[in-house]
Amino acid sequence: MGPSSSSAPSAWPWPDSLDALVAAPAYHTLLLENDRVRVIHTHIPVGALVPVHTHRWPAVAYLLGASDFIRRDHHGDVLLDSRKLGPPPKTPFVQWLEPLPPHTVENAGTSEISIVIVELKNPSR
């Protein structure tokens, strides 16, 4: 648990070093941050494998570019292979995301994944 986790209503068990902006900065760009939200842009080129990272807060994800992907846990076990769900959604597309524990993402499709993620830092307020 990192120093910034003390403000969370429930303990986040993973270190701040696994935060998406710290652990995978080549794929996550900070667009805006204040005490209530953090907005990041996730961009994953075709064939790229994003290193192990977390997303601590629930979020609204606005997909600008979708592609097939494989999400694995920090042990390398497949959590989700989107190819088994049918074609990627037509973009733009909006979805809700719960916090994500340590995982990797591999772009297994033919186009870039591009997502603006609005993380809600204090969802109980």
What domains lie within the chain, and their CATH numbers? Answer: 13-120 (2.60.120.10)
41-52, pLDDT tens digit by residue? 999 999 999 999
Would you mind telling me the total number of residues written for the chain in this entry?
Answer: 125
Q: What does pLDDT average to over the chain?
A: 91
Provide, rounded to the nearest whole percent, the portion of the chain with pLDDT above 90.
Answer: 85
Q: Is the pLDDT of residue 64 over 70?
A: yes
Q: If we measure between CA atoms, which residue out of 64, 69, 58 comes closest to residue 98?
A: 58
Q: Is residue 100 very low, low, confident or very high in pLDDT (cuts 50, 70, 90)?
A: very high
Tell me the mean pLDDT in the region 77-106: 95
At 7, the amino acid letter reads S
Cα-based angle 120, 122, 125 (whole degrees, multiple of 5): 120
Q: Is the pLDDT of residue 2 over 60?
A: no
pLDDT at 3: 41
| DSSP bridge partners of 69 | 107
Q: CA separation (Å) from 108 to 67, 80, 97?
A: 7, 12, 20
Q: Is the pLDDT of residue 30 over 80?
A: yes
Distance CA 72, CA 59 (A): 20
